[in-house]
Structure 1
Amino acid sequence: MNQLFATFAWLLDPAHYAGPDAIQVRVGEQVEYTLLTLLLASIIALPAGLAIGHTGRGRTLGVQIPAVLRALPTLGLVILLALMVGLGLLAPLIALVILAIPPILAGAYSGLESVDRETVDAARALGMTGWQVLWKVEIPLSLSLITGGLRSAALQAVATWTIAAILPLGGLGRYIFDALPVQDYPKMLAGSMLVIALALVTDALFALLQKVVTPPGVRAGRASLVRAKTTHSHARAALFRHASFIRNER
């Protein structure tokens, strides 16, 4: 409990909001690293995922490659790349981009695969080309799942960039690694709490974005499906009660 009070005192100390090690500076660095990771990973994963989902080709590789990438140990990959390319931003950036690709790739191709094939066939029957079907039908209807993949990658990037502070980099992980040798536990706990808070804010923003990009018709369709399932369940329950009543009467 004393450590918790000391942590809040550290967070509220005005001295920690000034200078190059200020809290807002470290938060800004963490956000900058995360956005850069998402941008580079999206440039690689989104076109590949959309191609797999649209054509249906390469799905086996699209499933196996993310599974392999997810199995890579984050810290080990960061250190290995640091030994190969040197200290600095490049090594952890490459490692974090590699680890951010699987959820974005999976969100893209699973989003397109979730689109009703009858809708796609109807679009083709209207004379739409493959590109028109992709951009006007499949992508708009799958934006919720695509955004979900970005959401997962963003949360992973926020958390794992903390580990990258083992190298001479900024970010919120700096508080944890700098405080560890001197056993400044309030500073370490404060850094951890700031990472958690940033992850929660990131998740909330992407959840809002996911809701905004979902077409109203899709939301209405899901609501109708839920109501239909509920009505069907109630009807079955009523029928069961009615059959039980008839058996009892006999």
Structure 2
Amino acid sequence: MADSDQSVPRLLSLPSEIRAAILDYVFDGDEHANGLTIASDGSGKAMTDHDYSAARILAPLLVCRQLYCDGSLLAFGRTHFSVTNLYIRIPDRLAQLHPKQIEALRSISLTVDKRHFRDLRSWGSHAFACPGLSLDSLTIVLHQSSQHYLFDFTTDVVNLLRQLQSVQSLAFVRNRAHVKGNFKTWCNRLVGLIMKTDHYERYDVRPPNAEQTWWTWKFDDACETFRLQACPSKAMVDEETYMQQIKPLMQELMVSIESEEWNPDPRARNGT
């Protein structure tokens, strides 16, 4: 019986290269698993997927200590972490991880209310004020049951975007939440202030203060999602050349503004 047991292949007795291949298969990094789903009513709106669980994806790491050591960095890098509890503080959770695990993280979504928007002011140049964090995607999901006065934080978000680094893609998802003044209107005002601030900091400030990161943007009307993609800072050029470069973006913004739903709230029209 003992000889028979010893002849049975054991996972931990396999060469490390084979174990790595198995873990690569287990944590396949499904790009569609992002903590969001599309509403089942046919509206196409993006919503929080309450059935999504990063813990369930990471469960194989709990088999034994060796598998955890072998696969934790791979698993962390391929798993989307969705934080839907408003009272969880991500900096506190990150502080419990090894620096290598923090560096491995690539995708986080955070459900927010006004307290979280106030916290953006203290982030500095890194998400959650954590220098070791380098994300491919960061998604900010509006809490569905909260009243959101996003116009109160437009300037804060613009200031954050000018200096935020180590985030490749940033998205704001309405999540069917109530946004005072219309979500798309806020996104358009945000884009307008990005360009206004950029011009001011380049040509009205001495010495010029160019952004650390420039962003391209796109509003998805169907999903009610506003996505920004990080790009290198734009080169310093003379003002006339700059205005020619920025002109297509201004034209796109005007088209988007014209497509806004009419809202009687003056805050939606004056950007305050």
TM-score computed with the length of structure 1 as normaliser = 0.22
Work out which of the two has the higher radius of gyration on C-alpha atoms and give 1 or 2: 1
Structure number with higher helix proportion: 1
TM-score computed with the length of structure 2 as normaliser = 0.21
Which structure ranks higher in relative contact order (CA pairs < 8 Å, sequence separation ≥ 6)? 1
